[in-house]
Amino acid sequence: MPYRICRRFEIENGHMLSKHPDKCKFPHGHSRKVECVLEADTLDEREMVCDFKLIKQVISDHLDAYDHAMCMNTEDPAFAEFRERYGERVIAFENEDPTTEVIAREIFQTLQDKLKHLTEDEATKYPFRNAEVRVVKVRVWETSSSWAEYFQA
């Protein structure tokens, strides 16, 4: 049976859901929790799946881009205006609404890719076993009672 660890982050983030029939089509924000779950069948020489600090080191810059930013569908009629006004604080989602499910998928794929391409220099202080450690899922909390997660079966 594998070992699992979870590293949680908190960000303040906004989004607009242009396909939504109700209030969610307007700009609004959430205090989000992002949980990154990793697993391995064995522990490393330090008796860890991997160090929690390594997860933070690998994904924190990416999550910082979400913090106090607005996620928008590039097809939203207001996208160009928001991007012009707020620049990179508007995160573009190509032709899809940035639902919590979509955001969870994007963070999962980014974390998986960053870990897959982790160099020895980056992992020197906190060793990482590329062949053994897997990203299991990313869960993104939208509110205290609602979350979405993405995982690969």
**DSSP single-letter state for residue 103:** H
The tens digit of pLDDT for each residue in 46-55 reads 999 999 999 9
Q: Which among 19, 98, 21, 17 is positioned nearest to 65, based on CA atoms?
A: 98
The tens digit of pLDDT for each residue in 20-38 reads 999 999 999 999 999 999 9
Mean pLDDT in residue range 5-16: 98
Identify the pLDDT of residue 152.
Answer: 84
Q: Has residue 93 been placed in a domain? A: no
Q: Has residue 92 been placed in a domain? A: no
pTM as predicted: 0.94
Cα separation, 152 vs 97, in Å, equals 21
Q: Has residue 76 been placed in a domain? A: no
Identify the pLDDT of residue 125.
Answer: 81
Q: Which helix (H) or strand (E) holds 36?
A: strand 28-40
Cα separation, 15 vs 125, in Å, equals 36
Q: Has residue 33 been placed in a domain? A: yes
CB contact set of 72 (below 8 Å; sequence gap of 6+): 15, 16, 18, 78, 79, 82, 83, 90, 91, 92, 93, 98
Structure-block tokens of residue 86: 């707020």
Q: Has residue 80 been placed in a domain? A: no
Mean pLDDT of the chain: 94
Q: What is the domain count for the chain?
A: 1
> Residue for token digits 């109700």?
22
Q: Has residue 104 been placed in a domain? A: yes
Identify the pLDDT of residue 49.
Answer: 97
What range does the domain containing 106 cover?
3-70+98-151
Q: Has residue 82 been placed in a domain? A: no
CATH number at residue 25: 3.30.479.10
